[in-house]
Chains A and B, each alone.
Chain A
Amino acid sequence: MELIIIPVVAALLSIFTKGNRWLNTILATAGLGVLLLKFGPSNMDYQSGQWVSIVDVPWLSDVVHFHLGLDGISYLLLLLTNILLPLIVFSVNDHRKPSLVPLALVMQAGLNGVFMAKDGLMFYLFWELAMIPIYFITLIYAERDNFVTTVRFFIYTFIGSLGMLASLIYLYTKTPDASFAFESLMSINLGYTESIWVGAGFLLAFAVKIPLFPFHTWQPNTYTYAPAQGSMLLSGIMLKMGLYGLIRWYMPLAGESIPFYQPIIITLAVIGIVYGALIAMRQEDMKRLVAYSSLSHVGLIAAGIMTMTETGMNGALLQMFVHGVNVVGLFMAIDLIQQTYRGRHFAELGGLAKVNRWFTILFFLIIIGTAAAPLTNGFPGEFMLLKSIFDYDTTYVVFAGLTIILCAVYMLRMFQFSMLGEPQEENKPIALVNTLPLVVIAIMVIVIGIFPQWFIEIFEPAVKNILTTISNTKGVMS
């Protein structure tokens, strides 16, 4: 409950901070504080893998319950949200963007709600609640007149969400006790055809949000023209809503349709991996490059989830966290470059390493983390994901594995054209204080890269639990 209220209160308070980044960051950190102190692994039992309810009160008579709670998976994503938010808020150092921080904090509340909701309609409400602030952020603070892109993005994702709402309502009409509670919705036995339609509704919402090839077309332009913080929020956290929804809502609720959708989604995801990478290889605009690389990476995660194996799920969850951290780091670095220098196109940059020693090191760490070099955070997740795909189908893994090569190509290309080479003119260095969030991210790159197992243990039991539940109630064997 605190995780919803505190960000909202912080959002209200942040209106009066006059854009002081330190105060704002402190306000944004409150959520992380509560999360660690109240719901940290020492206070909660994540080892059993069971769902722990925090609030469960009737809300709309008995039909909708205000039901919040968490397990290891939710905890992981809450951790991601609440770690990244302060970093993103800190990166706002422009007084001309007064409502950016309050909007971001409202979004934090919505995201926290998404990851904690255990009632179908509550989930839907938070899902849409998180959309509203990002709509305004991308609209108001865009780099150029961004109305068309933003509205397109909004309508696109909104139509997807409607599919999910339709599926939820359909399931609701079938429940014996007329309730949107997760357990009631899950208890229904759907017929095969029925489940395919219900699944289609869910998958439409999640595929657009993830985004899965070919539902990604809202993404590149939105990322490119949104303000940096908008891109960070979208790619770092909002994408994970779709992946989380796949695990938490689609699979248990419409699990009967998994045999039908599994090959389809994995094929699309693998296509997306290669497709995104090939396009990213040829981009000159750093933000657009990262947008397409993100398409490639989430494709791998989605494929891993859909293999329905413990390896795939664990790898996917770890990679969700890692991708969130890294992609925020990348966008932040690009934003700093753009703020300090001429722009973010290759043609306008080069030789920045000469005056930015620390920034170069941090940026490089994040880049090799993204390119999944061993002992950085990208490796363990990618290793597990590729292994799960390998066990699913050996021909697919050859294509999915291309990401190892292609990711190195486009990431190093970006690094080379921006940081290396002869400086075009005398540059001033990037202010060191602005790189503070990158330090935090770089530390996470190293620590998770060296000790991934510590991390996995938080959510592993919950993954086991969900997989058992699915196979027990829906008869889908992993």
Chain B
Amino acid sequence: MNPIALILAFPLLGFLINGLLGPKLPKSIVGWLGSIAVFASFILAVSKWSLILADAKGINWNAYTFLQIEQLTLNVSFTLDRLSLWMTLIITGIGSLIHLYSISYMDHDEQPAKFFAYLNLFIFSMLLLVLGSNFLMLFFGWEGVGLCSYLLIGFWYTNKDFGHAARKAFVMNRIGDLGLLLGMYLIASNYGSLEYAEVLPSMAQGNGSVSLLTGIAVLLFIGAIGKSAQVPLFTWLPDAMAGPTPVSALIHAATMVTAGIYLVVRTQALFFLSPAARTVVLVIGVLTALIAAVIALRQNDIKKVLAYSTVSQLGFMFVALGVGAYTTALFHVTTHAFFKALLFLGAGSVIHGVHDEQDMRYMGGLKSKMPVTYWTLLIGTLAISGFPMLSGFFSKDEILANVFHHSALVYGIMAFAALLTSVYMFRLFFLTFHGEYRGTEKLEFDKVHESNWKMTTPLLVLALLSVLGGLLNLPHYISHEGFLSAWLKPTYIMFEEVIHADMTTEILLISMAVLIFLVGFVYSRQRYLVKGVSPEVETKGVAKWLQNKLYIDEFYNLVVVKPLEVLGDILFALFDTLLLYGLTFAVHPVLRWVGGRNRKIQNGNIEFYLLYMVVAIAILLGVNLLFV
């Protein structure tokens, strides 16, 4: 059996078993079943490492023909090359840890089997997305993760708001999906195929005008905007916090949102050939990184802060893509997967410890009660804020360095966004663990507890990865060529060598990065630790705007949702019911009127009938004489 088939089969099997037999299985088994299914895929993927290392072309598997549309053949086919193997490892690796963590997190839930079934389906969809060898498979996975996120966000289905958030996530994703679909049509009708291996080289050989390529690239990017929660379609991601915390970790770290990055990296030849499309990517990325970071400054829900931080980090990745640094973007995806999974799971541990309280206004001083969570979360915070030599430092620095070569202005904005990252992350950290406990009387401080080993082990593993993740792609001033750069090089069809700056600039940039981290840290420390500003104060002026997420949701409601709803109402009430349906009613009086007029002729008098007859005969005869 083809290894790709097996990699895909394990999570699918896990889904089917848990989904169909779930309620019959003992609660203790379902979690392990789901975790093992994903871990088996991980092991299998690892075992193929040397094979892919030797042969960069990778393994192909053509399962069957899905559709044959005139000349266009759409296959269910997969390819395991260096890029997809890398993604597979992230997905299944981080995925396994999140599964393991979920076992005890979902301990008290009524339907753990359902939860693990959905998780496995999520992993399956994501694997479909990265392993597919054509745009159709990508689209399958693309919509699949959207659907799974719908199921998982709305997991606690009795809550109406959660259901609403789930629906919002799915619909916003679908807006992007339409763009992706149209991009696929454009590719199909111009290149006669949807296989990467046929389309991309053809583009690289110069087939197709620049405007066509830009059109395709922008349409595909619209898909990425939806899935990776970029401006303007980012509002679903923070709402997606409605789901259980491991789901947030899964969506934010390992799967789903990275799909947009994967798409651009996969089709990098296309984006390479269209500078205009790259500019679009860059602009959207910059906007997202900044706006999300600003909003994150004043959020009080611990998960919401992390959510906006994800949006902001995704903006960083798209900025990297916008300046053509594909490997760097993927490097940041990787390190971000480590520390963001760590942060979310840590946050989950905190939430679990304080009995499902998510508002940081009611936390504080948890350091003594939850040591493991405290230290691991500290590592995560340091990593994302860019503490030197941790994973986030390297990847973010690489992005900033690339941006610096591109444009000083963009560098300035991104440096500011990085500063904000440091500020809001330490705000979260200090508010949660330091200072006085601000919990309400419903939960006494004594009842706060550390999580058990099934939850802390993944934290420790992820903390280790967050520390060491930088080794995956060391900058050129430490090693000659980063590991990831060398690994991914063969998958790029069109590649521009990165021009390295001279040593002075490099040192300048590094010191800038360290400075950014320090300023953010010191500011937050002053404000939240030393001064002890409690978040309740921050409810006026700009802070209020930020707390309400710049009123973007309200704006969309006003501009898009409401008009559509009103339009629907008007069409139904006025146009459909009154006008069109009324028209059919109008037939009746008209016929009645005409009949009422004509009935007078039928007065029952024989003479008149005879007269009509004679007149009619005369007319007919006359017509006959005149015209025939």
Contacts and interface: CB of A to CB of B under 8 A. Distances in A.
B174 A405 contact: yes
Contact of B158 (A310, A413, A421): A421
A123 interface: no
A351 B159 CA distance: 9
A404 B174 contact: yes
A412 interface: yes
Contact of B584 (A217, A278, A354): A217
B188 A387 contact: yes
Interface string B557-581: 0000000110111011000100011
Interface string A356-391: 010000000000100001110000100110110011
B69 A401 contact: no
A179 interface: no
B146 to A, nearest CB: 8
A412 B66 contact: no
Given A279-B572, A282-B565, A405-B171, A214 B580 contact: yes
Contact of A456 (B68, B167, B178): B68
A75 B462 CA distance: 58
A106 B385 CA distance: 74
A420 B174 contact: no
A143 B335 CA distance: 61
Interface string A404-444: 11001100110010011111000000000000000000000
Contacts of A383: 67, 181
Contact of A421 (B64, B66, B163): B163
B178 A404 contact: yes
Given A282-B569, A373-B143, A374-B140, A391 B178 contact: no
Given A217-B583, A421-B157, A453-B67, A375 B150 contact: no
Contacts of B23: 357
Interface in B50-103: 64-70
Contact of A278 (B139, B158, B185, B564): B564
A249 interface: no
Interface centre among B67, B157, B181 (most CB of A within 10 A): B67
A166 B181 CA distance: 43
Contacts of B174: 404-405, 408
Contacts of A373: 143-144, 147
Contacts of B480: none
A455 B180 CA distance: 26
B182 interface: yes
A281 B177 CA distance: 20
A216 B581 CA distance: 9
Interface in A277-333: 278-279, 281-283, 309-311, 314
Contacts of A387: 69, 185, 188-189
A92 B206 CA distance: 63
Given A282-B565, A408-B170, A420-B154, A374 B144 contact: yes
B175 interface: yes
B531 interface: no
A297 B11 CA distance: 34
A218 interface: yes
Nearest to A318: B67
B160 interface: yes
Contact of A380 (B66, B164, B565, B572): B66
Nearest to A381: B67
A158 B23 CA distance: 53
Interface in B147-161: 147, 150, 154, 157-160
A154 interface: no
Contacts of A357: 23
Nearest to A156: B584
Given A152-B584, A453-B68, A404 B171 contact: no
A16 interface: no
Interface residues of A, number: 53
A276 B15 CA distance: 36
A200 B274 CA distance: 48
A59 interface: no
A397 interface: yes
A391 B189 CA distance: 8
Given A220-B576, A390-B189, A405-B178, A281 B66 contact: no
Contact of B177 (A398, A404, A452): A404
Contacts of A66: none
Nearest to A278: B568
A309 B157 CA distance: 44
Contacts of A409: 167, 171
Nearest to A408: B174
Contacts of B160: 420-422
Contacts of B569: 282
A341 interface: no
Interface centre among B23, B143, B189 (most CB of A within 10 A): B143
A275 interface: yes
B568 A351 contact: no
A387 B183 CA distance: 11
A334 interface: no
B576 A217 contact: yes
A170 interface: no
Contacts of B154: 416, 420
B568 A390 contact: no
Contacts of B66: 380, 452-453
B617 to A, nearest CB: 27
A11 interface: no
A216 B158 CA distance: 37
B568 A279 contact: yes
Nearest to A457: B68
Interface in B127-152: 139-140, 143-144, 147, 150
A14 B171 CA distance: 46
B571 A384 contact: no
B70 A354 contact: no
Contacts of A402: 178
B158 A351 contact: yes
A80 interface: no
Given A374-B139, A391-B189, A452-B66, 5 more contacts: A152-B584, A217-B584, A279-B568, A279-B576, A386-B185
Top 9 closest pairs, chain A to chain B, by CB: A282-B568, A374-B140, A278-B568, A420-B157, A390-B185, A217-B580, A217-B581, A279-B572, A420-B163
Interface of A: 152, 156, 214, 216-218, 220-221, 275, 278-279, 281-283, 309-311, 314, 351, 353-354, 357, 368, 373-375, 380, 383-384, 386-387, 390-391, 397-398, 401-402, 404-405, 408-409, 412-413, 416, 419-423, 451-453, 456
5 contacts: A218-B584, A374-B143, A387-B188, A405-B171, A416-B167
